[in-house]
A = this chain, B = another copy of it.
Amino acid sequence: MCELLGMSANVPTDICFSFTGFLHRGGGTGPHRDGWGIAFYEEGGYREFRDPHPSVHSRIARLICEYPIKSNIVISHIRQANVGGVKLANTHPFVREMWGQPWCYAHNGQLSGWETLDLASYRPVGSTDSEHAFCHLLGELRRRYPDPPEDRRGLWSSLHELCEKLRGLGVFNLLLADGEYLYTYCSTKLAHITRRAPFGEANLSDAEMVVNFVEHTTPDDVVSVLATEPLTDNEEWVRMQPGELLVWREGEIVARYLSDE
């Protein structure tokens, strides 16, 4: 299984602290040695860094830890390969442009029968179930909404429906973003925490590191972090429910969809 890390914030925020703990799971405290990637939506654009080597030994990962990139939305992934060989084309996150926005996607889990999922506007570059499911999901949204919908709720509801369908094929924990919204869907495992004033201290579970957020924030900052497993051991993380889709904007939950089951 892979691990996911996501962030939504109301001010450009660096993810160095969380990423430092997270990347230790990539071949350090965790078994996820088969590559990693991180995508940043920054003021004025999108960029990503991907590497097919274990994050704990990656020079590029080290740069990301030391070089604070300020961002409102981050999606990161460390990989333990199941479907698809260890290579760059199979390394998350994946990105496609829809409606002039870069849509970024990372998946934790494994699907069966994914080869038969319809593809329309988008085709996979690599050979993973994850990227195939992404191309299916985005192609289906684009088929329903050829232009960016004014009715955001309809789009989100479609997204939830498609996620539920994919969950029917196996395990489908998801981080997805369009630059404004971060979408998080839980199939089995995804936890979140929202930090806001009064800020306190946090201890990383996977590395010896403590941060006092008071020193790095202003009283109006709202920063939410999501991860497959909580990254700190002295804070209360909220575990999402199976079938739950959360829509985040500027660090806050703006919509929530639950399974009908």
Is there a chain B Cβ closer than 8 Å to A217's Cβ? Answer: no
Among A117-125, A154-162, A232-240, A245-253, which stretch is in contact with chain B?
A117-125
How many A residues have CB within 8 A of the partner chain? 33
A181, B197: Cα distance in complex, Å: 53
| Contact string against B for A residues 88-130, beta-carbon threshold 8 Å, 1 for contact and 0 otherwise | 1111000011011110000000000000000001111110000
* Whole-angstrom CA separation of A87 from B179 in the bound complex: 15
Given A59-B67, A100-B123, A124-B100, A89-B44 contact (CB < 8 Å):
yes
When all copies of this chain in the complex are counted, the total is 2
A245 to B101, CA, bound (A): 31
The interface residues of chain B lying within 8 Å CB-to-CB of A49 are 47, 49
Whether the pair A47, B44 counts as a contact (CB closer than 8 A) is no
Contact digits for A20-50, partner B, Cβ 8 Å, 1 yes 0 no? 0000000000000000000000111111111
Would you give the shortest CB distance from A235 to chain B, in whole angstroms?
31
Closest to A45 in B: B88
**Chain B residues in 8 Å Cβ range of A52:** 44-45
Which 10 A-B pairs give the minimum distances between C-beta atoms? A45-B88, A44-B87, A45-B89, A100-B123, A44-B88, A47-B50, A59-B67, A63-B63, A100-B125, A42-B88
Contact surface of A with B, Cβ cutoff 8 Å: 42-52, 59-60, 63, 67, 85, 87-91, 96-97, 99-102, 121-126
26 contacts between A and B (CB under 8 A): A42-B88, A43-B87, A44-B52, A44-B87, A44-B88, A44-B89, A45-B50, A45-B125, A45-B126, A46-B89, A46-B125, A47-B51, A47-B88, A49-B49, A59-B63, A59-B67, A60-B63, A60-B67, A63-B63, A96-B97, A97-B123, A97-B125, A99-B123, A101-B125, A102-B125, A121-B121
